[in-house]
Structure 1
Amino acid sequence: MMLTNSSLYGQKIKPSSSGYVPVNGIKMYYEVYGEGRPLILLHGAFMTIDTNWGQLIPELLKNRKVIAVELQGHGHTEFSERKLSQATLASDVVGLMDYLKIESADVAGYSFGGAVAYQFAIQSPKRLKSLVIISATYKNTGWLPEIGNAFKKMKPEMFANSPMQAAYDAVAPDKTKWTKFLEQMMATAGEPFDLGEANIAKISAPVLIIAGDNDGLDKIELMKTYKLLGGGVSADLGPMPKSQLAIVPGQGHVSLMMQTSTILNYLNNFLK
């Protein structure tokens, strides 16, 4: 499990503002850090702002405004029976931007949050400056088959007394909803999804894709995605594409997110 920023720095860095925004029938929790060009962070499945981004936020806030959210049912954002879908979650992010009067932003998403970030890019292109996708895909077949099989076999009891449950219990408005939240997320994970090659090819903002070499993503499919975004060319014979692909060696899905300095380096170079 990742260290949180509180365990790294002795005390958790306090957001400059935080609260709830009413969006599409739920109240979504958010935190804002720092000043400058806005960067929105979308966490992975079953995670909180702190467990996903805790190590990165203290560095990211030094030269930009960081806006981190907790998606439906996660962390401080209460469980809702509202149907979970990438489209709904992406429109929640737009609602938050409207609330905070942010016209456009850079968006970074990890895993489940990466799929939501792809959807955001597709449905709200004018609100996006650039996109960072960490260990995520826009379709379920972008994962290796064994990952899809593992999703289908997930059961709530697998998460009993896990660090994820401890993080949830620490901040959730109603701890009794943990199992219902897991069931809802697992039902979503088991459903096939595909945001569409044509839609990915239409993304005009620059995209940085970061993946671990053994993070469960099918790297043949990942290369196809990068080509849809204009990458995979010989830059010696023509212009360098505006999108980028980084494969981090010796990393799985969970360990990749712990490579704070590596991810920070890629993010800062890309976003500047």
Structure 2
Amino acid sequence: MEIKTAFKSGYSEVNGLNMYYEIYGQGDPIVLIHGGGSTIQTSFEKVIPLFAKNRKVIAVELQAHGRTNDRNQDSSFEQDADDVFALLRDLNIHKADFFGFSNGGTTVLQITIRHPEIVRKIVLGSALAKRNGVPDWFWDFMEQAKLENMPEQLKTAYKQVAPNPEALQTMHDRDAKRMVHFKDIPDENIRSVKAPTLIIIGDKDIILPEHALEMHRQIANSELAIIPGGHGEYIGEITTLDSNFRESTLVVPLIEKFLDKKQD
């Protein structure tokens, strides 16, 4: 029988949003930021209990995702970064580690660029910083994005938790539009990242190995890990799960070793 990890949840009024969060465990804080089209659970359900054994885990849902409402304006990674920063201030968190997956990784990068004072260490899971970081077909796919092509697991998960399940279309459209108009993060911004950084991708990821390597070279205090598997398989993201799933394949020990390592 699966044992559920106890948590507390709440909402915070942040920049015109009623932003949802969950807090698990005790200890040094780590903030988890989900991928596009996702909820806290679809990205992180498998890893939260592991992180929560030793840390305070703060997981959030961004604009139009899951239980957080839409503010009736386009989504941006910069705005998401500012929203997370404001939420943490509301929760009296002044310094934290951050782990973002996929779009959440791009948001973590923006938090580190825009609000470095709140960042201790960051983990970028399958994060995109440049348009050439994914194959050309990705942009064609986004141009043609339709709700019916969204993974069923993500649609079901949204409907299970959203106050208004009909707003699924809004979430989809916000995410698709943001990616269609995605602009490269300038090199000087990436190089400005001083926080110790762990970059993770799968060897069959949407993110190209060359892109992860370029980020690793641009972020002076960074490490790079390429893990066997697809996009999010290394954290048990919901669309990657099958009967062969084993907790032992998750990268939590790798991340914890990085976070616990003393800096020179």
TM-score by length of 2: 0.90
Mean CA deviation greater in 51-60 or 134-143: 134-143
Runs ≥4 residues deviating over 6 A: none
CA RMSD of aligned residues (A): 1.5
* Alpha-carbon distance in 2 for matches of 1:11, 1:58: 9
In the alignment, structure 1 residue 22 sits paired with structure 2 residue 13:
yes
Q: 1:181 Cα deviation (Å)?
A: 1.9
* Alpha-carbon distance in 2 for matches of 1:59, 1:192: 33
Residues 146-165 of structure 1 aligned to structure 2 (within 5 Å): 146-159=137-150, 162-165=152-155
Structure 2 partner of 1:127: 118
* Alpha-carbon distance in 1 for matches of 2:223, 2:190: 14
Residues 63-212 of structure 1 aligned to structure 2 (within 5 Å): 63-159=54-150, 162-212=152-202
Unaligned runs of 5+ in 1: 1-8, 231-241
Structure 1 partner of 2:223: 244
- The count of residues paired between Structure 1 and Structure 2 equals 250
* Alpha-carbon distance in 2 for matches of 1:224, 1:19: 38
* Alpha-carbon distance in 2 for matches of 1:221, 1:215: 11
State percent identity of aligned pairs: 34
* Alpha-carbon distance in 1 for matches of 2:73, 2:247: 34
Report the AA paired with residue 182 of structure 2: P
TM-score by length of 1: 0.87
Mean CA deviation greater in 209-218 or 37-46: 209-218
Q: Deviations over 1:168-201 (max 9, x none)?
A: 1111011111112211211112113222111111
* Alpha-carbon distance in 1 for matches of 2:158, 2:105: 20
Report the AA paired with residue 254 of structure 2: Y
* Alpha-carbon distance in 1 for matches of 2:129, 2:211: 10
In the alignment, structure 1 residue 255 sits paired with structure 2 residue 202:
no
Assess, with a 3 A threshold, how the Cα gap between structure 1 residues 170 and 12 changes in structure 2: closer, same or farther.
farther
Assess, with a 3 A threshold, how the Cα gap between structure 1 residues 27 and 102 changes in structure 2: closer, same or farther.
same
| Higher RCO structure, 1 or 2 (CA under 8 Å, sep 6+) | 2
